[in-house]
Chains A and B, each alone.
Chain A
Amino acid sequence: MLRMRSLLPPLLFTLAYAVVSLGVTNSYYQLILTLVPVWAVFGLSWNLLSGYTGLISFGHAAFFGIGAYATALGQIYFDISPWLLIPVAAMLGGIAGLLIGFPTFRLQGHYFALAMLAYPLAILYVFEWLGFQEVTLPIKRDAPIAYMQFADPRFYTLLGLAIMLATIVLTQMIERSRFGMALLAIKQNEAAAEAAGINTLAWKLRAITLSGAIAAAIGGFYAQVLLVVTPQSVFGMLVSAQALTVAMFGGVGTVWGPVIGSVILIPLAEILHAEAGARIPGIQGVIFGIAIVCVILMAPEGLFWKLRDLVRKRSAKATTDVPPEAAAANVTTLKPAARQRAAKGEVMLEVKNLSRSFGGLKAVQDVSFKLHKNEILGIIGPNGAGKTTLFNLLNGFLKPSQGEVLIDGRNMSGQRPHVICEAGIGRTFQVMRPFLRMSILDNVVVGAYVRARSDDEARKMAADAVVRVGLSAVADRVAGELSTKELRLMELARAIAGQPRILLLDETLAGLGHGEADEVVAVIQQLARDGMTIAIIEHTMQAMVRLVDSFLVLDHGAVITEGLPEVVTRDSRVIEAYLGKKWVGHAAN
């Protein structure tokens, strides 16, 4: 059902575009109409990597050019038809993506963007040295159709549209699948994505391979349309920039962004070139540049998102949506219960002599403890005591210098985070990084893929997790509209969606008011009753003493003491190092 509904808009758009283009007879306008889908597809290929993962590529011309030259040279030297060469070009582009991605994904942020810039520039000079300054495709008068050489340029437009439609549908499929979710998760927080069980390197490589393949295919088609290829026209800076321009103008991270950008910008640039440029040479660039700057200033995320926000606001006003209080009232809020200590079950997690130092600093030294089934263990200690470092060692963000982390008796220390997540450890983070534009449910789905075999199963598991944290009434709201408490609960839902057996919670109550903290505490208690084993770091001691079964107290990276809450909170070393005398006074009240 869903698939059919999302198929309709691109299909209608393509049909309408085809009808319009068939009516155009001026060959110059026909060329413009062909270039629109070409750059739209190129923008889509860029969007697939950079829009969804947030790793900006300044060098997509590398793939485009490889495709163009493969198509041109294949015809010249081997007399192969472009019908065959374009798929071959796509394969070469995919391989190039893999080869480029493997070393380059070590870099992040600006460094990744700059490294990507280098590839097309380097290849450009290689092709110049090889003597391919200007390659003209051979004209095949005897079998034009077999060599994709049409007398009527409108066929090129139709072919370009077909490629565009295929790319849009492919992108839409990816968007809704585990692939798209993984890429979005990487964009928001790569570390959190790893912790949610996503093998980030593998997904990024898949994205750049596919992106490179699409870019190379459309590069090959571009060569076929223009019948001439030069290094500058396919490997040049402006080509890479074109992908960014159409995608950013139209909207990054959405299938419609590059299409909108291309439909508006390409004809605008060409017409300016022909009309204004004829009178004052060069003025077209100035007008074009100003137009882009204006749109970016008014809609920094691109036209698509701006329009969607406007539509949302209007429809929100029209329906005078349910006030959050009313929605919240539908949720039966759990009340924190008196602690009923569970009988000590089997050992779920055993930490043996775990140590980690940074330079000379011993952040965690010789920490050992056991976590039993259904237990809630509170980890407390002063700031800088090594609590978060301990969590990072447990879930694989950091490799221990020494010691073992045994899950079900198997030593998992030193494994990658997504492997440890698969073994059954989920976690949340001090700093929340929700996907603000996505609904609660979509946010939570990311965490479910580690266990789910299909997209449907993942959605079902996510919905289940949302119910368990008590957010089902607001599951369709966009995360950007949520309160801190709801965001914390959503993070919790994401962590439990993958059905971990052990949950590591890092300051889940931070920034919450008194009553709010109680609600979250109640949810955590319920999770423990349902069979989850939990370790929680938290400073809100009032809530902690009611929540946990036992405490582990760290100071300077080492365990000071561990034991029952009422014993630990009276321990003079704990009061000295952590609680302070005042707290003891408050607690007495």
Chain B
Amino acid sequence: MLRIEGLSAGYSAKPVLNDVSIDVGAGQFVAIVGPNGAGKTTLFKTISGIVKPSGGTIIFDGVDLLAVPPPQRAHLGIAHVPEGRQVFPSLTVMENLEMGAMTESGRRDWQANIERIFEWLPVLKERRNQFAGTMSGGQQQMLAIGRGLASSPKLLMLDEPSMGLAPSTADFIFERLIEIRRQSGLTMLLVEQRVAEALESADHGYVLEAGHVVLQGNNATLRADDRVRKAYLGM
């Protein structure tokens, strides 16, 4: 579904990503973990086109992504659930979801999508007429995920969905993500600092450090890896 090869990117002279290669198969749930400043968010920004890479290729669904202008990329089926949620605070939950359905496929499948979103994230249905800015952090995160789903994506990219959330709320979010994937078979790419939860939820993981992929494998291998246990799981 998504194949990143030899990707390098950075801001002015400062390289952030260095020869990064990542494969996300159709229907896979892939987690990218690593410390602050490892380049996780930059990787996402490069995929959505906010940052221009200095080298490498990104192939999405058979299309050379770097040849597609950034605003068009959402229409290819990439939904980016940004760090810090970024919901539209003065719009209602329903309006926020409608903003997510601006893609062609999102408009076409709106009815079916909204039903499924409400089924997966019932709190959004309950609060559909509430202003997004008045909801709690966990609810806003669910709205951001719902907004991403409303575009009928083939790939859902999640940037730190657990940030600033209570442990139980974060658990609930991960639970929902696993459930959404189980039911829809959607391909997901997750960036997380909560390494334990991320590796538990995903089936494949990459460890990114200082712009390099230092380790990769399926979740069981990674969780058993001594370096991961020591550096990230605090064991």
Are A484 and B36 in contact, with the CB atoms below 8 A?
A: yes
Are B35 and A516 in contact, with the CB atoms below 8 A?
A: yes
Bound CA–CA A580/B232 (angstroms): 20
- A301 contacts chain B at the CB level, 8 A cutoff: no
B136, B164, B232: the one within 8 Å of A539 (CB):
B164
Bound CA–CA A507/B165 (angstroms): 11
Chain B residue contacts of A541, Cβ below 8 A: 167
Bound CA–CA A507/B164 (angstroms): 8
* Stretch of B59-67, B71-79, B97-105, B168-176 that contacts chain A: B168-176
Are B231 and A515 in contact, with the CB atoms below 8 A?
A: yes
Bound CA–CA A507/B167 (angstroms): 14
- Known interface pairs A382-B138, A383-B136, A383-B137; A578-B36 also in contact (CB < 8 Å): no
- B196 contacts chain A at the CB level, 8 A cutoff: yes
CB distance from A350 to the nearest CB of B (A): 27
CB distance from A310 to the nearest CB of B (A): 12
Are A578 and B196 in contact, with the CB atoms below 8 A?
A: no
Q: Flag A214-246 by CB within 8 Å of B: 1 or 0 each.
A: 000000000000000000000000000000000
- B26 contacts chain A at the CB level, 8 A cutoff: no
Q: Flag A564-577 by CB within 8 Å of B: 1 or 0 each.
A: 00000000000101
Are B166 and A514 in contact, with the CB atoms below 8 A?
A: no
Q: Which of B135, B193, B197 gathers the greatest number of chain A CB atoms within 10 Å?
A: B193
Are B136 and A514 in contact, with the CB atoms below 8 A?
A: no
Interface of B is mostly: loop
B135, B166, B196: the one within 8 Å of A586 (CB):
B196
Chain B residue contacts of A583, Cβ below 8 A: 167-168, 171
- A499-528 interface with B by 8 A CB criterion: 507, 510-516
Bound CA–CA A313/B36 (angstroms): 25
Are B166 and A578 in contact, with the CB atoms below 8 A?
A: yes
Q: Flag A378-402 by CB within 8 Å of B: 1 or 0 each.
A: 0011111000000000000000000
Chain A residue contacts of B91, Cβ below 8 A: none
- A483 contacts chain B at the CB level, 8 A cutoff: yes
- B185 contacts chain A at the CB level, 8 A cutoff: no
- Known interface pairs A511-B36, A513-B35, A516-B36; A580-B164 also in contact (CB < 8 Å): no
Closest partner residue, chain B, to A485 (CB atom): B36
Chain A residue contacts of B24, Cβ below 8 A: none
B37, B169, B197, B232: the one within 8 Å of A382 (CB):
B169
- A448 contacts chain B at the CB level, 8 A cutoff: no
Closest partner residue, chain A, to B197 (CB atom): A582
- A430 contacts chain B at the CB level, 8 A cutoff: yes
Are A589 and B167 in contact, with the CB atoms below 8 A?
A: no
Chain B residue contacts of A380, Cβ below 8 A: 166
CB distance from A510 to the nearest CB of B (A): 6
- Known interface pairs A383-B137, A485-B36; A513-B234 also in contact (CB < 8 Å): no
Closest partner residue, chain A, to B164 (CB atom): A510
- A579 contacts chain B at the CB level, 8 A cutoff: yes
Are A514 and B171 in contact, with the CB atoms below 8 A?
A: no
CB distance from A273 to the nearest CB of B (A): 39
Are A512 and B234 in contact, with the CB atoms below 8 A?
A: no
- B22 contacts chain A at the CB level, 8 A cutoff: no
Q: Which of A430, A542, A577, A582 gathers the greatest number of chain B CB atoms within 10 Å?
A: A582
Are A514 and B164 in contact, with the CB atoms below 8 A?
A: no
Chain B residue contacts of A483, Cβ below 8 A: 36-37
- A468-517 interface with B by 8 A CB criterion: 483-485, 507, 510-516
Are B36 and A382 in contact, with the CB atoms below 8 A?
A: no
Bound CA–CA A516/B234 (angstroms): 12
A381, A430, A542: the one within 8 Å of B164 (CB):
A430
- A306-320 interface with B by 8 A CB criterion: 313
Bound CA–CA A513/B191 (angstroms): 13
- A406-447 interface with B by 8 A CB criterion: 430
7 extra interface residue pairs, beta carbon distance < 8 Å, beyond A382-B169, A483-B36, A515-B35: A383-B169, A485-B36, A507-B164, A513-B232, A577-B168, A580-B168, A582-B167
- B163 contacts chain A at the CB level, 8 A cutoff: yes
Are B193 and A511 in contact, with the CB atoms below 8 A?
A: yes
- B224 contacts chain A at the CB level, 8 A cutoff: no
- Known interface pairs A382-B136, A382-B138, A384-B137; A514-B231 also in contact (CB < 8 Å): yes
24 contacts between A and B (CB under 8 A): A380-B166, A382-B169, A383-B138, A383-B169, A384-B138, A430-B164, A485-B36, A510-B164, A512-B36, A513-B34, A513-B35, A513-B232, A514-B234, A515-B35, A515-B231, A539-B166, A541-B167, A577-B168, A578-B166, A578-B167, A580-B168, A582-B171, A583-B167, A583-B168
Chain B residue contacts of A384, Cβ below 8 A: 135-138
Chain B residue contacts of A539, Cβ below 8 A: 164-167
Q: Which of A382, A383, A542, A579 gathers the greatest number of chain B CB atoms within 10 Å?
A: A383
- Known interface pairs A384-B137, A514-B232; A579-B37 also in contact (CB < 8 Å): no
Chain B residue contacts of A484, Cβ below 8 A: 36-37
Bound CA–CA A283/B35 (angstroms): 57
Are B193 and A513 in contact, with the CB atoms below 8 A?
A: yes
Are A580 and B167 in contact, with the CB atoms below 8 A?
A: yes
Chain A residue contacts of B36, Cβ below 8 A: 483-485, 511-513, 516
Chain A residue contacts of B171, Cβ below 8 A: 580, 582-583
Bound CA–CA A383/B162 (angstroms): 12
Q: Flag B33-45 by CB within 8 Å of A: 1 or 0 each.
A: 0111100000000
Chain B residue contacts of A513, Cβ below 8 A: 34-36, 193, 232
Closest partner residue, chain A, to B175 (CB atom): A582
Chain B residue contacts of A507, Cβ below 8 A: 164
- Known interface pairs A381-B166, A382-B138; A542-B234 also in contact (CB < 8 Å): yes
Bound CA–CA A483/B164 (angstroms): 18
Bound CA–CA A89/B167 (angstroms): 63
Q: Flag B179-197 by CB within 8 Å of A: 1 or 0 each.
A: 0000000000000010111
Closest partner residue, chain B, to A313 (CB atom): B13
**Closest A-B pairs by Cβ, 8 of them:** A580-B168, A384-B136, A513-B35, A383-B137, A383-B136, A580-B171, A382-B166, A583-B167
Q: Flag B5-17 by CB within 8 Å of A: 1 or 0 each.
A: 0000000010000
Are A589 and B193 in contact, with the CB atoms below 8 A?
A: no
Chain B residue contacts of A586, Cβ below 8 A: 196
- A534-589 interface with B by 8 A CB criterion: 539, 541-542, 575, 577-580, 582-583, 586, 589
Bound CA–CA A384/B164 (angstroms): 11
Chain A residue contacts of B165, Cβ below 8 A: 383, 539
Bound CA–CA A380/B193 (angstroms): 20
Bound CA–CA A430/B137 (angstroms): 13
Bound CA–CA A516/B34 (angstroms): 12
Bound CA–CA A586/B169 (angstroms): 15
Bound CA–CA A573/B15 (angstroms): 48
CB distance from A512 to the nearest CB of B (A): 6
Bound CA–CA A502/B74 (angstroms): 49
